[in-house]
Structure 1
Amino acid sequence: MKCQKAQLGVREHFWDEHKADINVFLETLIMFTISYANGLPNGKNVYF
């Protein structure tokens, strides 16, 4: 049980460290996807 708890603590720490990076990455990916999808029919990039 101790081992499992230690693993969870490490995982939480890792998540806290990288949460901002992950959010920025996801936002960039979403914006790129939206602009690419909107750019296909009319050639314009639209950001929401």
Structure 2
Amino acid sequence: MNVQVAVKMNSGPSIMLASGTWFDLLDPWHSHFTIQDIAQGPFKHMSLRRSV
């Protein structure tokens, strides 16, 4: 499986979303994203397990 993640650090840690917009990890309230960005998130190939 080939997974590519775009990260930029010059203006703070940010990741590129599926829509091509940047999500700023230090200012998430002002980052614009769509429901498709959430549905196609970078971790969709991983299974999340809950510890008991």
Q: TM-score, normalised by structure 1?
A: 0.21
Greater helix content: 1
Rg bigger for which structure? 1
Kindly indicate whether structure 1 or structure 2 has the higher relative contact order, using CA contacts under 8 Å at least 6 residues apart. Answer: 2
> What TM-score, normalized to structure 2?
0.21
